[in-house]
Structure 1
Amino acid sequence: MTDTSATSAAAQAPSGVVDLLGLLAYAELVSFFRLSDAAGLAPDLAAKGELAGVAATEYRHYRMLHERLAAMGADPEAAMAPFVEPLDAWHGRTEPRTWLESLVKTYVGDGIAGDFYRTVAEHADAETAEAVRGAVSETERAEAVAVRVRTAVQEDPKLAGPLSLWARRLVGEALSQAQLVAAARPELAALVARGATGGDSGEGGSGGKGDLAAVSRLFAGLTEAHSARLEAMGLSG
């Protein structure tokens, strides 16, 4: 794609698409570093290898999104920049205290974020939707993380309660942060509103209170998948 056609593609992209891809790209990059660190702290070689594989997948997803942004004529680093502070703040508030908490954060936190990105991306262009689906696909390696938590809970049932509370906290923090991001990025909020309402975001227009309310409704609608992930780890909702 030439510079001129790339710039034209970016200009024609639906509102909020560059924000969506920038947000997801930075999320994948941070996840790569976080999982790499977690792999180094894993208690055995099998766990180290599993998490290293997940981290490598996250980096491939980051590169794919980075290339998609560049192909659209957007500056990938500039697209990610508005989301550095809010995502770093979320990770700072949800820093795991134990190895098992880090696994729950990987499985539940990344999973519910993936549900959110997929739902919103369905109202972007087809290439963007495909890129997002590819970046947030849950792999067999992610399922291995759930198996490790479930095994630990079966061996020590007292872990279930605290880990369930931790999982709920992750979702609550994610919702709070999403609302802050949406308030600061009205075009992204409008795209989220279309995802929440199936394309009809007429409650207040781009950046309006209706769009911000739609962010809350969208996350609330993801609780079914969240409950399924808790069950996969042997935890209760």
Structure 2
Amino acid sequence: MGDKYEEGVVDLLAALAYGELSAFDRLAEDARAAPTLTGRAALAKMAAAEMGHYRVLEEQLARRGATVETKMQPFVQAFDDFNESTAPHSWHESLVKAYVGDGLAADFYREIAEWLDPETKRIVLSVVDDTGHSAFAEREVLAACADDRTLRDKLALWGRRLLGEAVTQAQRVAAERDALSELIIRGSGDLTGIATLFRKLQSNHTKRMQRLGLA
């Protein structure tokens, strides 16, 4: 499909890899702050799954003659800035971030996967598969907010902030990498297609917030 396409795919896999590595770090840290052993075990399992995804991406990049550490480097700042600006201040904020933030990222990569060759599509879809935090987060947040309107309102605002920060991050990552940007523009058709993509992300975000009882 051409050198530019391959370069874009390598960028995509590298961005995914750093996202998975960051998710592992965050979930492992959140697990230690869990108020129950059940919560701690649940997040630890999710963190382990993220590291499994990372290893898959590391192997795929190696097959393409790319070193994961080198290829991830251009994405470090954007991801770290996002995580710093959205550092949760409570257990429930951590759960909402994992549920909403990771869900938005997964939606973004699933959309892009539709424009890829079959093998790369399969890899991308496999590593953005739900690690199990969705059902757990829904149960925990719904139960906590059932009789606490103040917490519900606070988490609803938190969810909206996460959406804005995540969209900004996605736009920044794409804009800073020419090959990745071209991959997205070609796949979506044009700038209108990109706008449609982000509307889909927002719509899916709204549905997730509804499932948490925060819409």
Same fold, judged at TM 0.5 (above): yes
Alpha-carbon displacement from aligned partner over 1:130-161 (angstroms, at most 9, x marks no partner): 11111111143432122111111113132111
Cα drift, residue 93 of structure 1: 0.6
Instruction: Tell me which amino acid in the other structure corresponds to 1:65.
Output: L
More RCO (CA 8 Å, sep 6+): 2
Structure 2 runs not aligned, ≥5 long: none
Q: Within 1, Cα distance between the matches of 2:140 and 2:212?
A: 8
Which of the numbers 213, 218, 224 marks the counterpart of 2:197? 218
Q: CA deviation at 1:12?
A: 8.1
Tell me how far apart the structure 2 counterparts of residues 96 and 24 of structure 1 sit (CA, whole Å): 22
Q: Is 215-224 or 102-111 further displaced after alignment?
A: 215-224
SS class of match (1:100) = helix
- How many residues align? The count is 215
User: What residue is the counterpart of 2:102 in the other structure?
Assistant: 110
One-letter identity of the residue aligned with 1:221: K
Match of 1:228 among 207, 211, 214: 207
The residue correspondences of 1:50-61 to structure 2 (distance < 5 A) are 50-61=42-53
Partner of 2:214: helix, strand, or coil? Answer: coil
Structure showing greater radius of gyration is 1
Cα offset, 1:217, TM superposition: 3.9
| Aligned 8 A contact 1:182 1:215 in 2 | no
Residues 18 and 84 of structure 1: is their aligned pair in 2 closer, same or farther, counting only changes over 3 Å? Answer: same
Distance 1:159-1:228 versus aligned 2 partners, 3 A rule:
same
Give 2:116's match in structure 1, choosing from 124, 129, 137.
124
Q: Report the Cα offset of residue 68 of structure 1.
A: 0.8
Unaligned residue ranges in structure 1 (runs of 5+):
1-8, 202-209
**Contact residue 101 and residue 166 of structure 1 kept, 8 A:** yes
- Find out whether 1:186 has 2:178 as its counterpart: yes
Q: In the aligned structure 2, how far is the partner of 1:148 from the partner of 1:98?
A: 13
- Among all aligned residue pairs of Structure 1 and Structure 2, give the percentage whose two residues are the same amino acid: 44
